Amino acid sequence: MTRGRERFVIHLPVLAGDLTGAVRLARVVARWASNLPYTDPGEATVSYEDEQGVHHRVFCDTRLPGGQRCPLRAGHDGPCTRRLLR
């Protein structure tokens, strides 16, 4: 790879008390970060501190027509959508 085309991933540990809280916090941080260029909040995952090789997806992994990801939580009920349901 040439220097101009290298890509790096930032790993920013944030501690939460349980998996549900970690996923909830990751969703908030990922949605906020979506306003920044070069972020891919759809790839957000969480892991147990002692099992960092096992990742739990935060968002649905389904790609929609046009390349966007479904913004709903991983494992959601019902069909995928382009917009967050409120």
Does residue 59 contact residue 68 with C-beta atoms inside 8 Å?
Answer: no
Domains of the chain, by residue range, sit at: 10-85
Does residue 35 contact residue 81 with C-beta atoms inside 8 Å?
Answer: no
Over residues 26-47, mean pLDDT: 86
Q: pLDDT at position 14, please?
A: 84
Q: pLDDT at position 85, please?
A: 58
Residue 19, phi then psi, degrees to nearest 5? -65, -40
Which of residues 9 and 85 earns the better pLDDT score? 9
| 15-27 residue pLDDT tens | 899 999 999 999 8
Residue 84 has, within 13 A of its CA and on its CB side, a CA count of: 9
**Residue 1 confidence class, pLDDT cut points 50, 70, 90:** very low
